[in-house]
A and B are shown apart, each in its own frame.
Chain A
């Protein structure tokens, strides 16, 4: 049996828990002949997976994973196409853990030990929770174009400064900077090449049909896209758009619950679309040489 470890990386509310709930369900589902199959589940907080799955099945909102709830589950899987048995470790770490890496510049030693063994990284981004680097230059230009305000405000800054402006706070940095730094922390400790599947969660929210997951990242997170593209020695990457729920449970709950759970999942890459949420895992653990 080969041992594989997949690390889930993402800031708070990036969609990691929804993914893991859907994945856990699909791995137990025997309807698809090609998908990876769950043989056995073990590890720390493994019971939490069942709780997540129950909520996912009934279309409930999943709570954010808190640091004490981090799952260090291991799954024994069978690849029906190759008959290969895989021991898959999927530590689901809280988004706060990754925020802390950026804000406090720390990580646990356990995290570094885990990285020594990882076969791949699932990097999650939620379209609604991307903080972009909104510049005053662009905002003023837009406001001027729309005729909303006079951009030549001579004393605006002086007035604002006297109102005790908030100081720079790392918490408020934009998403792409935080994610690049989290990846740079990895490369500062390890020289090997990591397989990274970037997952844009809630893909159903990205409505434009011509937008592929890759060009979505290029547009919304250009610094991350550039960083991944220019560092092939460190990262071999692919981008997926995944909707673990298949749509908004606030507006489409009845519709979503009326179809089989496995069929409401949306998985898109550059070339195709399917319901198989194990595709990123299969890509991550596949030998790239």
Chain B
């Protein structure tokens, strides 16, 4: 804290101690006031007890006053997310896939659409990670100076960081729903494909309600990269299964991203047909090993053709927001629209935790 104090030379004026200025001026404007050294403050401060739970800082703007720190608005830890999820219906979604396959763009786009209007019958009801979303959306804004929208590459670390979005049905007939997105770098998944121990470090996977795998439509539109891209996706899902991270209750969504490019540059190489063959192949390989596997074609931030922003994202978004395999499995649906929804969430998390720890 600075060791300055306010004084006023005007007799009878209490402006220096927080009272009104007799001249009717602000402290800075009045010529009778000034800031002087106050050696007593430091001595007093040593005796002052600072509450443990609060962070106290000082500002040069307001001498002597203390500040409260709010949450930082960046990604949440799993513990933070669980604390929020206890108050409402919640789902956890992990988006996996190769680097630059459009994982972060998917979740940023949902946030960006809410900035314009309600989405899929739901309205924005809050987010504890607005800063995290803003940072991810920055390169899609005119303010970034870019010609084409872009998304910053997610840092390749294993921290289980989550972005939070809360939405509520437009007619308010149901309570709010929370959705937590795990945004993990593509490099982490690429390493995990060939190393089962690396895969097991992504401890959030068994706890999520939806495991989403992105397949880069732009790479499918290129003959030299399409086979390797599909093969890597298969290896990723297989590695998750072999590491015990995915079982026969997990809902898997496969998203063919950048579908606008498939429909423009990819037409020459029958990419749509190739996608249908890929769907058949992945279904045959994994349908009996997971709870359910669905396929979507999405152009989140299209740059080609007449696609709208978020093309194809509605159905998976609604599913992510409202469906939980754990709710289905343990008949938690009976709680879903009850006022005591927090109980349902606690039970769900207990179930998920036990499952991931191998208790069930």
Binding site for B on A (CB under 8 A): 42-48, 50-51, 66-69, 101, 105-112, 133-140, 151-153, 156-157, 160-161, 163, 165-166, 168, 170, 172-174, 176-177, 180-181, 184-185, 187-188, 222-223, 226-227, 229-232
Contact = CB atoms under 8 A, between A and B. Distances in A.
A185 B123 CA distance: 20
A67 B128 CA distance: 27
B117 interface: yes
Contacts of A181: 73, 130
B68 A43 contact: no
Interface residues of B, number: 61
A48 B26 contact: yes
14 contacts: A42-B20, A43-B20, A47-B21, A47-B24, A107-B67, A107-B70, A108-B68, A112-B68, A137-B303, A156-B146, A168-B135, A180-B130, A223-B115, A226-B125
Interface string B130-141: 110011011011
A157 B26 contact: no
B20 A109 contact: no
A136 B141 contact: yes
A105 B135 contact: no
B33 to A, nearest CB: 10
B72 A105 contact: yes
A260 B185 CA distance: 64
Contacts of A152: 303-304
B24 A230 contact: no
A135 B70 contact: no
Contacts of A51: 24-25
Contact of B134 (A108, A166, A177, A185): A177
Closest 4 CB pairs of A and B: A47-B24, A156-B147, A230-B125, A226-B123
Contacts of A188: 70-71
Contacts of A180: 126, 130
A151 B304 CA distance: 8
B134 to A, nearest CB: 5
A174 B115 contact: yes
A72 to B, nearest CB: 9
Interface string B254-267: 00000000000000
A152 B304 CA distance: 8
Interface stretch (B57-65, B229-237, B243-251): B57-65
Interface string B62-97: 100111111111000000000000000000000000
Interface string B273-303: 0000000000000000000000000000111
A69 B24 CA distance: 11
B149 A137 contact: yes
Nearest to B109: A137
Contacts of B138: 168
Given A133-B141, A152-B303, A230 B147 contact: no
Nearest to B150: A157
Contacts of B46: none
A227 B126 contact: yes
Given A152-B304, A173-B134, A47 B23 contact: yes
A176 B62 CA distance: 27
Interface string B30-46: 00000000000000000
A222 B117 contact: yes
Nearest to A160: B146
Interface string B174-211: 00100000000000000000000000000000000000
Contacts of A229: 123, 172
B20 A135 contact: no
B8 to A, nearest CB: 13
B24 A48 contact: yes
Contacts of B327: none
